[in-house]
């Protein structure tokens, strides 16, 4: 049995013996920090799995090869017996919302128990620019977690993150809404030349300090006020720095194809690669349109546009409860929206409107979810409203003796527009169609949660605890939609290549030691819409930068995660 791979590592790492030493017994002895033996190695590239061992020194993989190949003179400070398990790169969550949550609690329990070692965040808003208006916009969200701004730029944020400690690595985009607040404010108008330059300069500064690019949330104010030309101009700044443009599109329902066309147009005009966040066809009337969406994206790829997409493996989405409101009932700021909802005349008009039906006979209230019965309350910030978490909106209305529209308005006002909800609006066949595309990666669209403390107080979407194991369980083992190797590629090297993380997302000598060890026969999600806080099973060990953050399924309390800075080729 050859020992070349591990022997080479031994030679590279051994301390040179004294020149006068002749006794072979005095030869230096390599010591690995971690040796993972006997596992089925799925390296993240999509290549067939192989049996093998893997060795780590510091934060790097130093050797990988067939089983039993560890140098006979080598030792290991720690060993994991991976017989019967898969050894894979740590999973990369290309759409999380943990930037402030990790400052409240860096344990990232809901992430590490899924095998996630890296997250990219900043979908709609972001930690920079950290000027007055973006700070004020996030204050209402982060105050209940005891988190405040203590930084002025991205370098400052990463220093804060690493000082407090995080179990996972974190990189970020710059959110278009944060840029718009910084440069323009909450208004729906065209920016002046000076305001446009202010946004470009803020984005360029963030890119210089390691942002992965620009991300737009075009379904949300104020980012939705930007035109395609303005977005393309900002994406040009991203392209100049080698980053990408990521987008939560303007529409995931009736305007799906137009929204895809806009994302592709931004890429073509700016030169920036594009990532479509959580690709879906929302609303019963749009079920089946994923085939058209996929065809449009593939056609762009065929003509040379660098476009990919992320997917989460559920047929329900999650966002603010105020997303139900029509545009005419929303002001440019939360305070102005609340003032509108408190106005008796507007309230009466809104209740009448939301109690009606569309021209197609669908409820005006949450059309994509089929009405109030398709909306589940997930998070109420006010303690007096917490009893409604986990209930469908029609049941809430019944309990309150109100119409669903009246109950919705009252909840939004009582909770200062801070409530979140889950919308059951998608079809399983569309999801499978998206998953089958080789250019779709997996992303949870969820921030880190805990089972106690400030990050445990809501009733989240089950994707917060279950996304990645659900792929391995439902769509690999049970349905065979993806092979194991392909599923791991979608969770590791594909997102790493999209983000520019050249030294993560795969298992290989010299790469960062972000590793997950899981049981392919039992790995599965346990989180449900009724009980979303349940921990997944089958994720046995998780290593971040060479340090175990999960061992035998139990968090170790270690915080070896880092702020990841984009540097063209990734770091």
| Structural domain includes residue 333 | yes
**Residue 480 located in a structural domain:** no
The answer, yes or no, to whether residue 1 has pLDDT greater than 80, is no
* Residues 349, 377 within the same domain: yes
Q: What pLDDT score does 71 carry? A: 53
Host domain of residue 417: 322-422
Same domain, 272 and 341: no
pLDDT value at 464 more than 60: yes
118 in Cβ contact with 501 (< 8 Å): yes
User: Stretch 185-198: mean pLDDT, rounded?
Assistant: 97
Is residue 551 within 8 A of residue 563, CB to CB? The reply is no
Given a cut of 80, is residue 13 above it in pLDDT? no
Averaged pLDDT of the chain: 93
Q: What is the pLDDT of residue 176?
A: 98
Look at 132-141, 430-439, 444-453 and tell me which has the smallest mean pLDDT: 132-141
**Preceding peptide of 129 cis, ω within 30°:** yes
Q: Last residue of some domain: 422, 444, 477?
A: 422
The pLDDT tens digits of the residues spanning 132-145 come to: 999 998 998 899 89
Q: Within this chain, do residues 204 and 243 fall inside the same structural domain, yes or no?
A: yes
Read off the CATH number of the domain in which 265 is found: 3.20.20.140
225 belongs to a structural domain: yes
As a whole number of angstroms, the distance between CA 42 and CA 46 comes to: 8
Same domain, 283 and 342: no
Domain boundary among 403, 422, 441: 422
In the chain, what percentage of residues exceed pLDDT 90?
88
Of the listed ranges 68-82, 174-188, 271-285, 315-329, the least confidently predicted one is 68-82
Neighbouring residues of 78: CB distance < 8 A, sequence distance ≥ 6? 33, 34, 35, 548
Instruction: Among 402, 422, 442, give the residue marking a domain's end.
Output: 422
194 and 291 in one domain?
A: yes
Structural domain count of the chain: 2
Average the pLDDT over 374-391 and give the result: 93
User: pLDDT for 192-244, tens place per residue?
Assistant: 999 999 999 999 999 999 999 999 999 999 999 999 999 999 999 999 999 99
Are 261 and 347 in the same domain? no
- pLDDT value, residue 4: 42
Q: Which pLDDT band holds residue 361 (cuts at 50, 70, 90)?
A: confident
Kindly state whether residues 356 and 245 are assigned to the same domain. no
Band of pLDDT at residue 30, cut at 50, 70 and 90:
confident
For residue 407, name the pLDDT band (cuts at 50, 70, 90).
Answer: very high
Model confidence at 18: pLDDT above 50: no
Regarding whether 354 and 301 lie in a shared domain, the answer is no
Query: Which of 114-123, 231-240, 357-366, 472-481 shows the lowest mean pLDDT across its residues?
Result: 357-366
Whether 253 contacts 281, CB under 8 Å:
yes
Residue 193 resides in a domain: yes
| HEC-encoded secondary structure of 183-232 | HCCCCCCCCCHHHHHHHHHHHHHHHHCCCCEEEEECCCCCHHHCCHHHHH
Query: pTM score, two decimals?
Result: 0.92
Tell me: pLDDT of 10 over 80.
no
Residues 350 and 305 in one domain: no
Give CA–CA dist 117/362, Å, rounded: 42
Determine, yes or no, domain membership for 175.
no
Tell whether 363 is covered by a domain. yes
> Does residue 254 lie within any of the structural domains?
yes
Q: Are residues 196 and 267 in the same domain?
A: yes
- Are residue 217 and residue 304 in the same domain, yes or no? yes
Residue 343 is encoded by which pair of tokens? 């106005």
- pLDDT at res. 157: 98
Q: Sign (positive/negative) of CA torsion 331, 99, 437, 234? A: positive
Q: Is residue 327 domain-resident?
A: yes
Measured between alpha carbons, how far is residue 394 from residues 320, 355, 366, 528 in Å?
17, 12, 11, 20
**210: enclosing H helix or E strand:** none
Structure confidence by residue, pLDDT tens digits, 40-59:
999 999 999 999 999 999 99
- 71 phi/psi in degrees, rounded to 5: -55, 135
**In whole angstroms, what is the distance from residue 516 CA to residue 492 CA?**
11
Extract the tokens encoding 329. Answer: 């009932």
304 and 192: one domain? yes
Q: Is the per-residue pLDDT at 252 higher than 50?
A: yes
39, 507 in Cβ contact below 8 A? no
Q: What number of CA atoms fall less than 13 Å from residue 301's CA on the CB side?
A: 15
State residue 141's pLDDT score.
87
């Amino acid at each position: 049995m050859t020992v070349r791979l591990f022997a080479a590592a031994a030679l590279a790492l051994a301390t040179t013996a004294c020149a006068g030493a002749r006794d072979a017994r005095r030869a230096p002895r390599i010591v690995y920090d971690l040796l993972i033996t006997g596992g089925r190695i799925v390296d993240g590239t999509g290549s067939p799995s192989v049996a093998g061992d893997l060795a780590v020194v510091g934060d790097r993989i130093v050797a990988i090869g067939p089983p039993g190949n560890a140098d006979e003179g080598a030792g290991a400070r720690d060993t994991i017996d991976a017989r019967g398990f898969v050894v894979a790169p740590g999973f990369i969550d290309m759409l999380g919302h943990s930037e402030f949550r990790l400052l409240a609690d860096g344990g990232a329990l809901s992430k590490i128990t899924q095998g996630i070692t890296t997250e990219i965040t900043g979908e709609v808003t972001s930690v920079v620019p950290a000027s007055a208006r973006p700070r004020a916009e996030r204050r209402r969200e982060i105050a209940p977690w005891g988190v405040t701004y203590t930084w002025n730029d991205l370098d400052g944020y990463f220093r804060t993150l690493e000082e407090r400690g995080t179990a996972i690595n974190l990189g970020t985009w710059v959110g278009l809404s944060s840029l718009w607040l910084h440069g323009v404010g909450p208004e729906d108008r065209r920016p002046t030349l000076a305001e446009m330059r202010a946004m470009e300069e803020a984005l360029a500064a963030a890119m210089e300090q390691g942002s992965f690019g620009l991300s737009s949330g075009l379904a949300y104010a104020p980012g939705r006020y930007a035109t395609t030309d303005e977005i393309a101009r900002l994406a040009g700044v991203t392209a100049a720095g080698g980053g990408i443009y990521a987008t939560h599109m303007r529409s995931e329902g009736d305007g799906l194809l137009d929204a895809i066309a806009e994302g592709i147009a931004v890429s073509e005009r700016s030169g920036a690669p594009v990532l479509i966040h959580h690709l879906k066809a929302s609303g019963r009337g749009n079920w089946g349109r994923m085939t058209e969406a996929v065809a449009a994206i593939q056609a762009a790829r065929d003509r040379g546009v660098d476009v990919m997409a992320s997917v989460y493996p559920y047929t329900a989405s999650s966002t603010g409860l105020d997303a139900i409101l029509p545009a005419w009932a929303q002001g440019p700021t939360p305070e102005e929206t609340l003032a509108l909802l408190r106005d008796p005349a507007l309230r009466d008009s809104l209740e009448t409107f939301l109690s009606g039906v569309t021209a197609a006979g669908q409820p005006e209230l949450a059309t994509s979810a089929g009405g109030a019965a398709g909306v589940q309350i997930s998070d109420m910030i006010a303690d007096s409203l917490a009893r409604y978490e986990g209930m469908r909106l029609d049941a809430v209305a019944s309990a309150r003796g109100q119409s669903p529209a009246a109950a919705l308005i009252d909840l939004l006002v009582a909770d200062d527009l801070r409530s979140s909800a889950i919308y059951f609006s998608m079809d399983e066949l569309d999801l499978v169609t998206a998953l089958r595309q080789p250019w779709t990666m997996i992303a949870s669209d969820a921030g880190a949660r805990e089972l106690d403390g400030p990050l445990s107080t809501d009733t989240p979407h089950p994707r917060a605890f279950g996304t990645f194991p659900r792929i391995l369980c439902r769509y690999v083992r049970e349905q065979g939609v993806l092979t194991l190797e392909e599923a791991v590629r979608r969770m590791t090297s594909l997102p790493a290549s999209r983000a520019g993380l050249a030294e993560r997302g795969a298992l290989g000598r010299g790469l960062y030691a972000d590793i997950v060890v899981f049981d392919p026969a039992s790995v599965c999600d346990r989180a449900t819409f009724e009980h979303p806080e349940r921990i997944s099973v089958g994720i046995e060990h998780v290593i971040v930068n060479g340090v175990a953050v999960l061992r035998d399924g139990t968090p170790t309390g270690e915080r070896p995660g880092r702020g990841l800075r984009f540097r063209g080729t990734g770091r």
